Structure 1
Amino acid sequence: MTLGMAGRPEEGAADDVALTRAAQDGDVAALGLLLERHRAGMRAVALSILGPGPDVDDVMQEAALVALRRIGDVRDPRAVGPWLRMIVRNGCRALLRASSQVEPVAELAPRDAGADLGELLERHALRDWVWEAIEELSPTLRLPLVLRHFTEGVTGYERIAQVCGVPVGTVRSRLNQARAKLAAALDATAAGAHSDARLRTAASWDEARDTLSAAEAGEFGRLLKESWSPEVALMSGDTWMGDAALLERGMDGDLSAGVRQRPVNVAAGRSLTVWEMDILNPADDPGHCPPSVAWIMSLSDGRVARLRLFHPVPLRTAVLPPELREVWPSV
């Protein structure tokens, strides 16, 4: 069963306004009815852009998840139909761009250039029950789902495959399984007591900044010992690469070279957290590191137990200044 696609409202059922307001108050069933009412129009948009094929179902499933996350953005419930079709349209266009450019899927709703991150978190805040449902997924399904829907630079199938160490086809299969299980988990957790996702996200932002500050002060090793798991492992896919000592050496080496990091996005669950960072290279060595990195952290008892460091844009494909093209002629 795909998210929100089950159940058909009877004739004379509640109109879009009532359903939208109920969904904004956290009623998952209302959102399911709302999606069903507009399913035909949403699917028609996808078919007109993509043509028949499995990508249509993929976009429809993702549109349902986006609607779940962002139903609070709808200011005029009477316009919820065009809003849902806009999500599908943007999702189709993003999929076409990703297929032609091998780039991550763009965000399915535009950001306001003038809005700061706090405002965006408020407007696009993940409802607590969503994260509670995500926690019900297995780690194998949770990781690709969070990367696909809650990061900015690791959303593409190929990038998720690199992080997970599996083929792209396996990523698609796991995402389909995760969405189906998430639908059931949402129904099961909607009425329960949930931790506050916004508070947890805000705390994770602070932790990311504090971690970088400690590293710049030469305290990264101490922080690892005090705050992370004693058995923390640096992973590449499912392959063990090293322990805390390797992490400390790597961080100290980058800092000594003048490299700094700046957090730009946080996705924080109880068992999986992602920090996305811009990398700021020194002016005299602008190609020292790739331009960005994602810290993908699996947690155990609140401590980081596994860390995957993923560069969405490898150094050899980064956009470099002309003087560096002689050094990396393949760029």
Structure 2
Amino acid sequence: MAEELDESLVRSAQAGDMAAFAALVERHRAALRATAIALLGYTDDAEDAVQDALLTALQRLPELREPSAVVPWLKAAVRNNCRQQLRARKAVPVADPGLLLPPVTSPGEERLEQAATADWIRRGLDGLSAPIREVMMLRYFSGVTQYRQIAALCGISPDTVASRLRDGRRALAQQLRQTAEASFDEAGARAEAWHRESAQIVGSMLDGSFGTVVEDWYHPHALVDVMGLIHGDRSLLLDMLDWTFSADVGVRLHHTMASKDVLLWEADFVNPPSDPEHCPPTMVALFSLEQGRVARMGISYGTHHPG
């Protein structure tokens, strides 16, 4: 009967019923915590390992092909997190923290961006402070998952990334438990509006009017940080855009996420045949907004599609 109930809850959660996912978590939270304690002892790290596993599982729940096996699946995620923490204690370089569960193997499977779950998490993120929201959005909802990358985009140290993620996991878990049965039409509509506006901004930049876009959308003293290595103001961004678009490079925006005053873009560069290596293949941009205008922009480049 227990497995049948778990299977029913998983199928309901996969169909978008977040109250079912919350019920599933509460059924097995004690067992998952015991799994973490067995490896890490009675420490805060054990609770962090459980919360991290649950957030990752929430994103990858559509990939679970055997709902009746959800408990071993969750425990495996917890054990993976614990092993990463144990390696970190021994000062061994930690693998990409995004690799907590088996990767997607079917081309038809995509990262979770389905309305019910995404809106539930967006509403939970809205209740967190902006600095914590930034690292949480990058860690769980973008291709930027390594602490060093997140640190560069946010202009903070890797240790600060770790502490903000720890605080964010706990706060978000509490938010999700409190809002599991709520309706989030407003959050979904706001996300769609931000995506449309982001696409319009990118389109305006591509048609040659990026100077006006930057002047209108960025605060006069907005800070621009590139990979944690190059720092400047709006003029730096204008120079970068001019260098990019004058070479006939295209930009394809493929993912956005917004939470109050934090906006995340992921995009691909489309280099011309005459200069196929003009720009790196991918870009992630993290925007901190004040009254709807950009106060800070962090930029990171990648060599492959983050999805």
- What band does the TM-score fall into relative to the shorter chain? 0.7 to 0.9
| 2:289 alignment partner, SS class | strand
Aligned: 1:234 with 2:234: no
| 1:126 alignment partner, SS class | helix
How many angstroms does 1:157 deviate by?
1.0
Residue 146 of structure 1 corresponds to 137
Q: Is the Cα–Cα contact under 8 Å of residues 97 and 146 in structure 2 kept in the other structure? A: yes
How many angstroms does 1:147 deviate by?
0.9
CA separation of 1:94 and 1:267: change in aligned 2, threshold 3 A: farther
| 1:121 alignment partner, SS class | coil
How many angstroms does 1:77 deviate by?
3.8
Q: Is the Cα–Cα contact under 8 Å of residues 20 and 34 in structure 1 kept in the other structure? A: no
Q: Is the Cα–Cα contact under 8 Å of residues 133 and 259 in structure 2 kept in the other structure? A: no
Pairwise mapping of residues 36-75 of structure 1 onto structure 2 (< 5 A)?
A: 36=29, 38-39=31-32, 43=36, 47=39, 58-71=48-61, 74=64
CA separation of 1:112 and 1:203: change in aligned 2, threshold 3 A: farther
1:124-169: CA deviation from partner (whole Å, max 9, x where unpaired): 86342321121111112111111111111x1111111222222222
Structure number with the bigger relative contact order (C-alpha 8 A, sep ≥ 6) is 2
How many angstroms does 1:282 deviate by?
3.7
Q: Letter of the aligned partner of 1:32 in structure 2?
A: V
Q: Is the Cα–Cα contact under 8 Å of residues 250 and 269 in structure 2 kept in the other structure? A: yes
Q: Letter of the aligned partner of 2:248 in structure 1?
A: G
TM-score (norm 1): 0.70
Partner Cα distance (2:52, 2:97) in 1: 14
1:182-202: CA deviation from partner (whole Å, max 9, x where unpaired): 122223444555344544444
TM-score (norm 2): 0.74
Partner Cα distance (2:293, 2:101) in 1: 32
Q: Is the Cα–Cα contact under 8 Å of residues 298 and 306 in structure 1 kept in the other structure? A: yes
How many angstroms does 1:279 deviate by?
2.5
Q: Is the Cα–Cα contact under 8 Å of residues 255 and 266 in structure 2 kept in the other structure? A: yes
| 1:289 alignment partner, SS class | coil
Q: Letter of the aligned partner of 1:276 in structure 2?
A: E
Q: Letter of the aligned partner of 1:262 in structure 2?
A: R
CA separation of 1:255 and 1:104: change in aligned 2, threshold 3 A: farther
Residue 322 of structure 1 corresponds to none
Q: Is the Cα–Cα contact under 8 Å of residues 159 and 312 in structure 1 kept in the other structure? A: no
Q: Is the Cα–Cα contact under 8 Å of residues 267 and 284 in structure 2 kept in the other structure? A: yes
1:257-315: CA deviation from partner (whole Å, max 9, x where unpaired): 233322233223232221112233344444433332211112334443332112246xx
Mark the runs of 5 or more structure 1 residues left unpaired by the alignment.
1-11, 319-331
Partner Cα distance (1:296, 1:106) in 2: 22
Query: Alignment partner for residue 105 of structure 1, among 98, 103, 108?
Result: 98
Query: Alignment partner for residue 162 of structure 2, among 172, 177, 183?
Result: 172
Pairwise mapping of residues 1-331 of structure 1 onto structure 2 (< 5 A)?
A: 15-17=5-7, 19-20=9-10, 25-27=17-19, 29-36=22-29, 38-39=31-32, 43=36, 47=39, 58-71=48-61, 74=64, 77-85=67-75, 87-88=77-78, 105-106=98-99, 108=101, 110-111=103-104, 113-115=106-108, 121-122=113-114, 126-152=117-143, 154-192=144-182, 194-226=184-216, 228-231=217-220, 233-236=222-225, 241-312=231-302
- TM-align CA RMSD: 4.1
Mark the runs of 5 or more structure 2 residues left unpaired by the alignment.
none
Q: Letter of the aligned partner of 1:121 in structure 2?
A: E
Q: Letter of the aligned partner of 2:223 in structure 1?
A: L
Partner Cα distance (1:53, 1:257) in 2: 54
| 1:79 alignment partner, SS class | helix
Percent same amino acid among aligned pairs? Answer: 34
